[in-house]
């Protein structure tokens, strides 16, 4: 039995006008679990009109009152953890344990941290003879991917709402189930109709219409660099603000003297978690050439713990890829690595034994990888780790910086030495040794990993205009 979802516009369910639907497929089984309307520019127009009508009153609402509504949304998300986790596992294949601990839990953590930011935010301040006023931008168009379907929208929705904006949201057509849950929770939390609107559909139709729409003042997009380029091109016609969180090819740079157990354990986790379908993953492990054999042995031993299986099994660490289409892409890169001469040390092409019916791949590790090769340069977005040897520190930094991406990286070594190397990396976020994710720290990319920042005070300021009033 499949679930039928409708658009959410102006605080009410709205049927699609195209007469077409998009099936949501469970990648573990290939079975349809839901269907959404295939939205068109007509639904985008309706949603924008609703958002513009709701904007003046929401923008005029006191920040403390907006925060109270957002806090109730966070409470609503927390109260439906199991439902959210089950929905994400069914629509994109994340293992159920990960869906509970990360997919459903992180959005609550992000929201609560942002509520702390606004408690002390200077909405107005005196600078010399000027009053600096920070005001909402207007209508925000939010477009999100399928890999962390709830977290990605909450990372936009929370600061946008707290700043006083209204929203038109397009979730990925591959993973739209949590969008419907979120809209229901927001309405129950007292968010006025029209402040949040959800339009389902594909990127070339709905995403394009949103990016071009003169009634949308800002686009906040998370997804591939290719799609981000297109959004920037289309949005330029109306000179709207565009915030892009795009692809990555993070490097895990292991220095001489590093704690190899720590570097391998954390590095592998940030390569294979969520099946490697993470923009901030570290799919490149850069190692001193004389330590490569030892590190490969450690990686292969540790990789055995990343069990592939049914995502509903709580022991599963890696489920299927999010779709059969994506499975073929990842498998193609594994085959490309072999063809290009990289040394296969774990995994390989094809589906794991016993999982021939779902969108499964074998977690794979390559060694002796050419840093200029396709598997070291292009975003695979799957559980594929490339181990790249280097001769000295300068070469390691050059390799780490030697892609078009610059989202995340890690450095392992003596603390002060590792910190010095971290400063040389052209990436928006770098972990040193046991440094871990901080929801108050800004997140975003250098180069073609995007522009703008999420989380913390910079993430709130992303959704604000700044006005100077001379007095």
Q: Do 400 and 384 contact (CB within 8 A), yes or no?
A: no
CB 72 within 8 A of CB 161: no
Are residues 305 and 339 in contact, defined by beta-carbon separation less than 8 angstroms?
Answer: no
CA distance 334 to 380: 9
Find the angle CA(208)-CA(212)-CA(215) to the nearest 5 degrees. 125
- Closest C-alpha among 175, 239, 153, 193 to residue 34: 175
Torsion of CA 272, 273, 279, 283, to 10 degrees: -20
Q: E strands, 77-118, where?
A: none
Which residues, at least 6 apart from 460, have a Cβ–Cβ distance to it below 8 Å?
A: 114, 117, 118, 121, 159, 162, 163
Residues classed as catalytic: 245, 279
Query: What is the rounded distance in angstroms from the CA atom of residue 202 to the CA atom of residue 209?
Result: 10
Report the DSSP beta bridge partners of residue 219: 141, 242
| Residues 444 and 451 sit within 8 Å (Cβ to Cβ) | yes
In b/e form, how buried is each residue of 274-310, taking b as 16+ CB within 10 angstroms?
bbbbbbbbbbbbbbbeebbeebbebbeebbeebebbb
């Amino acid at each position: 039995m499949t679930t039928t979802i409708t658009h959410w516009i102006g605080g009410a369910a709205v049927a699609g006008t195209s007469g077409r639907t998009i099936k949501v497929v469970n990648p573990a089984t290939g079975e349809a679990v839901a269907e959404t309307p295939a939205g068109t520019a007509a639904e985008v127009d309706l949603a924008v009109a609703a958002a513009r009508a709701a904007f003046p009153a929401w923008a005029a609402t006191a920040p403390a009152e907006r925060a109270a509504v957002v806090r109730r949304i966070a409470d609503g998300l927390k109260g439906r953890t199991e439902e959210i986790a089950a929905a994400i596992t069914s629509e994109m294949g994340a293992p159920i344990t990960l869906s509970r601990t990360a997919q459903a839990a992180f959005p609550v953590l992000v929201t609560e941290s942002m509520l702390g930011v606004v408690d002390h935010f200077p909405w107005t301040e005196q600078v010399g003879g000027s009053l600096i006023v920070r005001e909402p931008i207007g209508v925000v168009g939010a477009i999100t991917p399928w890999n962390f379907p709830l977290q990605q929208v909450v990372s936009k929705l929370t600061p946008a709402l707290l700043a006083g904006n209204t929203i038109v949201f397009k979730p990925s057509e591959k993973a739209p189930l949590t969008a419907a849950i979120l809209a229901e929770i927001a309405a129950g939390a007292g968010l006025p109709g029209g402040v949040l609107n959800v339009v389902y559909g594909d990127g070339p139709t709905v995403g394009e219409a949103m990016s071009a729409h003169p009634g949308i003042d800002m686009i906040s997009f998370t997804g591939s660099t290719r799609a981000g380029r297109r959004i920037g091109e289309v949005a330029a016609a109306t000179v709207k603000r565009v915030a892009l969180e795009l692809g990555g090819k993070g490097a895990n740079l292991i220095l001489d003297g590093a704690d190899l157990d720590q570097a391998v354990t954390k590095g592998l986790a940030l390569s294979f978690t969520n099946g490697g379908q993470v923009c901030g993953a570290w799919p490149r492990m850069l190692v001193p050439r004389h330590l490569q054999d030892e590190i490969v042995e450690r990686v292969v031993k540790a990789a055995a713990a990343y069990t592939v299986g049914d995502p509903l099994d709580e022991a599963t660490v890696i489920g299927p890829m999010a779709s059969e289409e994506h499975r073929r892409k990842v498998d193609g890169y594994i085959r490309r690595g072999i063809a290009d001469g990289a040394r296969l040390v774990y995994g390989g092409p094809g589906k794991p034994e016993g999982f021939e019916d779902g969108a499964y791949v074998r977690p794979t590790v390559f060694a002796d990888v050419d840093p200029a090769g396709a598997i070291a340069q292009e975003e695979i977005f799957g559980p594929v780790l490339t181990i790249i040897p280097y001769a000295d520190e300068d070469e390691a930094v050059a390799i780490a910086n030697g892609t078009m991406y610059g989202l995340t990286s890690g450095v392992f070594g003596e603390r002060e030495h590792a910190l010095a190397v971290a400063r040389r990396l052209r990436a928006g976020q770098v972990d040193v040794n046991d440094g871990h994710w901080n929801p108050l720290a800004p997140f975003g990319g250098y180069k073609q990993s995007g522009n703008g920042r999420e989380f913390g005070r910079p993430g709130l300021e992303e959704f604000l205009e700044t006005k100077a009033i001379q007095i």
